[in-house]
Amino acid sequence: MKPRLLADENTSHRLVSACRQIDAGFPLIHISDWENGAYLSVKDPALLMTLREHKMILVGFDRASMPLHAGTLTREGLGHSGVILFRRSVPVTAYGKQARLLVDLWREGQDWEWADRIEYLPRS
């Protein structure tokens, strides 16, 4: 399985495990396990540009700054490869709920054009 989704450092490894319990081949990797953790604590714009090069979508909870940085990259013509953010209504420790929402979205949207796209879970 080639990872397509990257869980950021504010998400738990338990989300990755919960997704794999639902779908053993789910293409999610935690940032600390990707590239030997080299991108832990990297600033959002640099991380988004790196993920664009790897065609990976960022998954996280950072509703405060991530949409701003992603939007700025899009407006500047640099773009990003996609962001999936959990809404405030999804508790940070509700790994099962997070996993169900993410796996369901991915089953529906894995073939979507993700460039410069931001999705919020749950979807409204």
5-121 domain in CATH 3.40.50?
yes
- Return the pLDDT at 2: 76
The total number of residues shown for the chain amounts to: 124
Query: pTM for the whole thing?
Result: 0.95
- Return the pLDDT at 86: 98
Give, for all 124 residues of the chain, the pLDDT tens digit: 678 999 999 999 999 999 999 999 999 999 999 999 999 999 999 999 999 999 999 999 999 999 999 999 999 999 999 999 999 999 999 999 999 999 999 999 999 999 999 999 999 8
Assigned token pair, 107: 């089953």
The tokens 């990297």 sit on which residue? Answer: 42
CA distance 41 to 48: 13
What is the enclosing helix (H) or strand (E) of 84?
Answer: strand 83-86
CA distance 25 to 40: 24
Q: Are 121 and 91 in contact (CB under 8 A)?
A: no
CA distance 2 to 29: 9
